[in-house]
Amino acid sequence: MFASDMNPARDAGRVTTADAVLFPIQFIWPHGGRSVFLSGSFNRWTELVPMSQVEGCPNVFQAVYAVPLGCHEYKFFVDGEWRHDERQPHKTGEYGIVNTFDAIPIPAEVPLVHPRSEILNNMEVDNSRMHRVSAVTLNQAMPRILEEDVTASRHRIAVYLQGHTAYELLPESGKVVALDVALPVKQAFHILSEQGIPLAPLWDFRKGKFVGVITASDFILILRELVNNRSNLTEEELETHSIAAWKEGKAYLKGQVDGHGRPIPKELIYASPSENLKDVALKILQSGVAIVPIIHLEDGSFPQLLHLASLAGILKCICRYVKHCPASLPILQLPIYAIPLGTWVPRIGEFSSRPFAMLRLTASLSSALDMLVEAHVSSIPIVDDNDSLVDVYCRSDIMALAKGRAYTHNLNEMTVHQALQLGLDSNPPYGTRSQRCQMCLRTDTLLKVMEQLANPGVRRLVMVEAGSNRVEGIISLTDIFRFLLG
């Protein structure tokens, strides 16, 4: 089966951009056997990938394997015999009849708002009982979910959120950093990096009000413009170019101009301390922002910036509430694989509107930035040669380049590993791998996942396979709130 001209030692040293971007796929062998392995063109037919038996389904074996972009062939090695799955696309190739599939280039965690009807359509409903059929657990025994339990739990959470205000999110002590729009862009990003924060509200002294937010995404866009030479903004101008000028230039870049060619000013999305927590959460979800400033407005005085509200802060309040009434919220004890939330690895042969990609440590930083911007995602899983999760590259990680003149490096030549190491070297509180790379299992309960996501700085959990740490999906704060709020 293994071709004689295939030399693993010869190929091992080759690092290409295409091979650094990976698309995890769940392979299924549903025809039984004692020992089942997988091999294919994606590993040059030089490796037998062991497949594990699905619990409760003795004839079904599965394995998650990350493949590069392109068209692929594969076969199964079952009890010492090469076989193909007749239910999946197949053709006659160099190794007899082989199964085939295409890996498509759509990055991870693509934000997608599911209306209630679509969520229900993605669940099997039988006598008012709902079952989620996920890519990972299609053949696994599913816990039975009462539709009335879901409705009642959502109602209780909504009532709780409506009865509490944004004022309750304010910590007993702390600080909120705001920047003047007249500051040079370089200085602004240096401040964010020094303070260890990914964003800050913007104050316009001339207008006497808060006018926006500067984030890590702005820095990413600037770096991409410098790399791609698509703007007149040079590296030297970062020293004098103001935040206000950048925001205006950003509007032109995105085509956000009126009929006269003038940039359309964007109104700041904020909340008052008296707004209820449900409305604050909906503002964050509907606007697609990470935070909403809590601003106290009083006639005749300057606005007071009190806090930056986030979904994590609101989720922490929900977790405190449910500790006192767990029995009244039965859905919280369900395993996450039984609930319609998150982005899961697609099954082989299955179309997914939310597939996602991963990167090797050897991928270029520019490819990571392209994925973050073009797919509107906040993070990308980073895996080793065994496809095991080793880290996560987030939008906020780009701030490590703001120190000194690190952003002058060639981003096409800098690897993701070097970029992550730069953050560790320049900012010791940057976080250990265990702090940055938060994981969960598909068997974890919804409540356990919520408690993890309620921790400061955690915006998503990477679902991994027990033992191997191979990526099976991603659950974000946004996913949790879309489900809880229905």
> Which residues, 6+ apart, have CB-to-CB distance to 342 below 8 Å?
336, 463, 473, 474, 475, 476, 479
Average pLDDT, the chain: 80
CA atoms within 13 A on the CB side of 433: 8
Q: What is the pLDDT of residue 247?
A: 87
Least confident of 174-183, 251-260, 287-296, 333-342: 251-260
Give tens-digit pLDDT for 470-480: 888 899 999 99
Choose from 15-19, 87-91, 345-349 the range with maximum mean pLDDT.
Answer: 87-91
Rounded to an integer, what distance in angstroms lies between the CA atom of residue 124 and that of residue 338? 11
Contact in structure between 112 and 122 (CB atoms under 8 Å): no
Flag whether pLDDT at 14 surpasses 50: no
Flag whether pLDDT at 276 surpasses 60: yes
Q: What is the pLDDT of residue 5?
A: 38
Rounded to an integer, what distance in angstroms lies between the CA atom of residue 462 and that of residue 234? 37
- Torsion sign over Cα 222, 224, 226, 228: negative
Q: Between these two residues, 70 and 107, which has the higher pLDDT value?
A: 70
Q: How far is CA 103 from CA 98, 100, 276, 290, 351, in A?
A: 16, 10, 44, 31, 11
Euclidean distance between the first and the last CA atom of the chain, given in angstroms as a whole number: 51
Q: Between these two residues, 375 and 314, which has the higher pLDDT value?
A: 314
Q: How far is CA 116 from CA 123, 151, 483, 484, in A?
A: 11, 11, 9, 11
> What percent of the chain shows pLDDT beyond 90?
37
Q: What is the mean pLDDT of residues 324-329?
A: 77
Three-point CA angle 342, 348, 349, nearest 5°: 105
Flag whether pLDDT at 79 surpasses 90: yes
Q: Between these two residues, 56 and 312, which has the higher pLDDT value?
A: 312
Q: What is the pLDDT of residue 402?
A: 74
Residue 294: strand pairing partners: 271, 307
Give tens-digit pLDDT for 94-106: 889 999 988 765 4
Q: What is the pLDDT of residue 355?
A: 54
Q: Exposure of 56 by Cβ count < 10 A (0-12 exposed, 13-18 middle, 19+ buried)?
A: exposed
Overall pTM > 0.85:
no
Q: Exposure of 199 by Cβ count < 10 A (0-12 exposed, 13-18 middle, 19+ buried)?
A: buried
Q: How far is CA 40 from CA 47, 73, 83, 312, in A?
A: 8, 5, 12, 42
Choose from 53-57, 110-114, 368-372, 397-401 the range with maximum mean pLDDT.
Answer: 368-372
Give tens-digit pLDDT for 202-247: 999 999 999 999 998 888 888 877 766 545 555 666 677 899 988 8
Q: What is the mean pLDDT of residues 157-174?
A: 93
Q: What is the pLDDT of residue 13?
A: 30
Q: What is the pLDDT of residue 352?
A: 54
Question: What is the layout of strands, in order, in the sheet containing 460-464?
Answer: 343-344, 471-476, 460-464, 439-440
User: Residue 449: which pLDDT band, with cuts at 50, 70 and 90?
Assistant: very high
Flag whether pLDDT at 50 surpasses 60: yes
Q: What is the pLDDT of residue 327?
A: 74
Q: What is the pLDDT of residue 7?
A: 36
User: Residue 119: which pLDDT band, with cuts at 50, 70 and 90?
Assistant: very low
Flag whether pLDDT at 38 surpasses 70: yes
